[in-house]
Structure 1
Amino acid sequence: MDFWQHIYEHFDPVAFSIGPFHVHWYGIMYVLALVTALLAAKWYVKHDGYPVDEKRLDGYFIYVEIGVILGARLGYILFYDPHTLWYLSHPWEIFNPFHGGAFTGISGMSYHGAVIGFIIATWLFSKRSKTSFWMWMDLVALSVPVGYIFGRIGNFLNQGLVGRVADVPWSIYVNGTPRHPSQLYEAVLEGVFVAAILFFYRKRQRFEGELIALYAILYGTARFVAEFWREPDIQLGFICCGWVTMGQFLSLLMILVGIVGYYLLYRRGKKPLVSARSDI
């Protein structure tokens, strides 16, 4: 086992170089995540009868990608960067995700910020295309967890978002310290686990928005648990009670939003898409 532990410690995060340009494994995994999520969405559109043509689906994903990138960056600055006000005098650094706030040296992107950007992008697209906002949200709830698996594998290969110090046989060395491979834990919990539950539940969907509400609850729970093995953000540490991380706090908010949203949508009693698609 020590052999593999040390292999990881000396693993090169750069997959290959073309002249002065370096292509990182994380970038490759990020592209795979996007492609896989899009392919999954197309599969669900075809097999579950979503009233969406391929051209419109491709256009929607462009909207979402822009929203996710902007939301992830701005979310990091607001939620994780201790020098948020610094950006008021250096606004050009807002769009530099590799500064990590210019002080930490880590990638400055936030998942929870990406969620906010995704929601705004979906709302704008649904208004522009005059389609159902909740239909898109449910479709994304089914598709995103599949791609998320590759995103976390990318974190692992990039040696980012490292785990806490560990003495388990499968620990990996990061800068000479054995740690949990928490990125892989997250790939399973936030990716495989969430994707599988929603895949098998989708035919029982009772109203529009149910799947995205369940996604918020499931992802929030999976992320909250995974944070116990993930090293707290170095610039923040534990934000409460000596054990609560920012990721856990935001995940609790996500769970709460999912529960409240589920209740309100259920009370609203919208006709479920799965019923409308049953005859297709």
Structure 2
Amino acid sequence: MTSPYIVDINPVAFHLGPVQVHWYGLMYLLSFLGVGLLAERRRHAGRLPVSRDALSDLAFYAMMGVIVGGRVWYMLFYYAGGPRWIWTDPLALFKVWDGGMSFHGGLLGVLAASWWWSHRHRLHFFDTVDFLAPLVPVGLGLGRLGNFINGELWGKPSALPWAMIFPHAHDDDVAWAAAHPSWLPSLQQFGGVPRQPSQLYEMLLEGVVMFTVLWLVSLKPRPRYLVSGLFALLYGGFRFGVEFVRLPDPQLGYLAFGWLTMGQAQSLPMILVGVVLLVLSRRAPTLVPATAVR
């Protein structure tokens, strides 16, 4: 058997004195910087008729929406024991060092922040969302890269030549090999069972592919709703598909049919919303680029 790649990367990128700087935190920082630069480029091209200061406000509100929405949604739908923490341990919401963020919650947080910001600046909500949609895959891709570096959210056991071993999955590997003895040689020889690198699949699909498609589509003025609808449809479809080769969250397992995960259940509405928005775009006006506001 060919020796598989073992994903055993130090999650700490470097130290600043006594402070540890983690790769995952750097991914968040790079995401915000990358999105900010691309947003300013789109603003300068007249894709949203606002000043640089107004765009900075939107970026700040969106960042807060990602953090607050992502954390609250995780605690409501993914936290072990369900939402009982609300009355038994409300401070658990702030224990971010224990991990736990949800993309769907972060997306709702961004949408809420964008709605409030659009209302303040008297802009159509979906003009703002269409402006932001091509930028979101930057954060998605870097976030999945952070998951890979951390060796978390691994996929199902696989004999594919690019399957990888994740040391943090050792307990699952032992249980899998016990139930499937043909995998025992791999466990004994390499210390683990090769698994689908589902984080890299998501980085490629939700990050690289989505960014490329949405950025190219949005280079020309498009009818309102089209870019947002394409984003929702692509993300929902990609996430739904990758979940088939990714293990479900251990505290939740499968929700139904022996295969439906929470990620798939929350992605189905996105697919539906994407289709509806694309239909609406066929009769919607097109925002004509304006001279950039300084």
Shorter-chain TM-score tier: 0.7 to 0.9
Residue 217 of structure 2: aligned partner: 201
Partners of 1:231 and 1:79 lie apart in 2 by: 17
1:223 alignment partner AA: R
Deviations 1:52-109 (A, max 9, x none): 322211110100111111110111112212421123221111122233xxxxxxx211
Q: Using the TM superposition, give the Cα deviation of residue 128 of structure 1 relative to its aligned residue in structure 2, in angstroms.
A: 2.1
Instruction: Note the C-alpha offset of 1:18.
Output: 3.2
1:278 & 1:17 partners in 2: Cα distance? Answer: 45
Tell me which structure has the larger Cα radius of gyration. 2
Q: Which residue of 2 aligns with 1:93?
A: 92
Q: CA deviation at 1:177?
A: 2.7
Distance 1:259 1:81 in 2: 31
Distance 1:232 1:197, change over 3 A: same
Q: Give % identity.
A: 40
1:59 corresponding residue in structure 2: 57
Match of 1:104 in 2: none
Which region of structure 1 is more displaced relative to structure 2, 80-89 or 157-166?
80-89
Do the aligned partners of residues 206 and 29 (structure 1) sit closer, same or farther apart at CA in structure 2, a change above 3 Å counting? closer
Aligned to 2:226: 210
TM-score by length of 2: 0.83
Q: Secondary structure at the match of 1:122?
A: helix
SS in 2 for 1:16: strand
CA distance in 2, matches of 1:177, 1:40: 40
Q: Which whole-Å CA distance do the structure 2 matches of 1:115 and 1:53 have between them?
A: 24
User: Higher mean Cα deviation, 199-208 or 109-118?
Assistant: 199-208
Q: What is the CA-CA distance between 1:154 and the residue it aligns to?
A: 0.9
Query: Residue 251 of structure 1 is aligned with which of 267, 271, 286?
Result: 267
Q: Are residues 1:225 and 2:241 paired?
A: yes
Deviation, 1:47, is 3.4
How much has 1:27 moved relative to structure 2?
0.7
* 1:187 is aligned to 2:203: yes
Indicate which of 63, 68, 81 corresponds to 2:66: 68
CA distance in 2 between counterparts of 1:47 and 1:141 reads 16
Residue equivalent to 2:145:
153
* Corresponding letter in the other structure for 1:139: F
What aligned pairs does 1:27-66 form with structure 2 within 5 A after superposition? 27-47=25-45, 49-66=47-64
- State the SS of the aligned residue for 2:96: coil
Equivalent position SS for 1:135? helix
Aligned 8 A contact 1:36 1:146 in 2: yes
Match runs of 1:1-150 below 5 Å:
5-6=5-6, 8-9=7-8, 11-47=9-45, 49-83=47-81, 84-99=83-98, 107-150=99-142
Unmatched tracts of structure 2, length 5 or more? 168-191
Total equivalences in the alignment: 267
What is the RMSD computed on CA atoms of the aligned residues? 2.2
1:74·1:113 contact (CA, 8 Å) conserved in 2?
A: yes
Bigger Cα displacement from structure 2, 177-186 vs 47-56? 47-56
- Determine if contact 2:228/2:277 at 8 Å carries over to the other structure: no
Match of 2:85, as an amino acid? W
Query: Is the 8 Å Cα contact of residues 4 and 163 (structure 2) preserved in structure 1?
Result: no
Please give the TM-score of this superposition, normalised by the length of structure 1: 0.87
| Residue in 1 that maps onto 2:281 | 266
Q: Distance between the aligned counterparts of 1:43 and 1:4, measured in 2?
A: 42
